[in-house]
Structure 1
Amino acid sequence: MLNEYCASTSNGQARAWLRDMRGSAENNWLCRQQGRPDRVIDMTAACVREYGKGAVARYTDRNDLTSWRCFSR
């Protein structure tokens, strides 16, 4: 889902990237594109793109970068 989100915001050029494999969930996922500055992924925007209006992103464990989930409001 995150690779598709990054690609959709960059004419297909960016991919999802982890800043720090041991880091926290917050602000650790980036869109990376060669020759451009990295951008922190807006996780709620990624959920909305995937599931539609009303979707929201939340992590279940602040210390687990893989704990992001999409929820419906």
Structure 2
Amino acid sequence: MAKIEVPDDLVALQREALAAAADAKAAGYSAEGWRPWIEAAAVVQNAIAEHAAATGQNRYELEMAVKAAAREG
């Protein structure tokens, strides 16, 4: 298996999504309150898919590597 290259910009996007998730969960459920989390998650998913396609990496493996890197730092 090839080494997965994890760009810093994808890690930053994932961290933003994690922060938005924490904010949404802390506030309790409301569609409006969770919208930033949903939008941040969509942004990171699209960025991962685009990067994987552009570099020929496996999208799933890239996503898992991005999530792991975001949790580390």
Q: Which one has a larger percent helix, Structure 1 or Structure 2?
A: 2
Q: Which one has a larger percent strand, Structure 1 or Structure 2?
A: 1
Bigger RCO (CA 8 Å, 6+ sep):
2
TM-score bracket, normalised by the shorter chain, equals under 0.3
TM-score, scaled to structure 2: 0.27
